[in-house]
Homo-oligomer: A and B are copies of this chain.
């Protein structure tokens, strides 16, 4: 005779599974970021999350898939924050971008800064088809597009060129922040970006109301 589950049990079982998956994901996200993905084993993750190994494998097919899921969380969060910074001041795209950059400069000069989780994943997994690397590469492509939109809104003569220069500075802040800490080169991030933006946008264009209108529609369209 099959034992019938009480209605309460039937309802809570999937919720518990979801809770465990969330806890695993959150724990792994933090451990992977702080120590590196390859440095963290599944045993450490389940022990820290207070779950069992089968519970992990019920939600994630493998450690690689768990890493990819964690990176997707980071990517979504990253791109959402950038969008929020840029849409906050649609009349002043340069000001919005500068504020976002200032926050990055502050983070990247903190002791124990660990850089960008997505860039770090690409360093750890050079194989093009690795699930973690695929998420990192997709994030970077999307961010590059967003930077081009921002560069266009700032009135750049060649938005793709300015965007790439800014991307070099940003990736440089992620990397050097890990190596130099509080006194690192990321302290000049905003000034260096200013110099690039100045050199890529004619002063007249930056002041022109027409550019302001273009800026607004570019931001809205992103």
Contacts and interface: CB of A to CB of B under 8 A. Distances in A.
Interface stretch (A47-55, A78-86, A189-197, A206-214): A189-197
A216 to B, nearest CB: 26
B178 A123 contact: yes
A185 B170 CA distance: 11
A8 B39 CA distance: 47
A74 to B, nearest CB: 15
A35 interface: yes
**Count of identical protomers in the assembly:** 2
B192 A165 contact: yes
B126 A178 contact: yes
Contact of A126 (B35, B137, B169): B35
Contact of A38 (B124, B140, B141, B144): B124
B38 A36 contact: yes
Interface centre among A178, A180, A198 (most CB of B within 10 A): A178
A78 to B, nearest CB: 14
A47 to B, nearest CB: 20
A42 interface: no
A182 interface: no
Interface string A106-144: 000000101100011011111000000000110011001
Q: Which 4 A-B pairs have the closest CB atoms?
A: A168-B172, A164-B185, A172-B172, A165-B192
19 contacts: A35-B126, A36-B38, A36-B123, A114-B126, A122-B179, A124-B124, A161-B191, A163-B185, A164-B184, A165-B169, A165-B188, A165-B192, A169-B169, A171-B171, A171-B176, A192-B196, A195-B195, A195-B200, A196-B196
Interface of A: 34-36, 38-39, 112, 114-115, 119-120, 122-126, 136-137, 140-141, 144, 161, 163-165, 167-176, 178-180, 184-189, 191-192, 195-196, 198-200
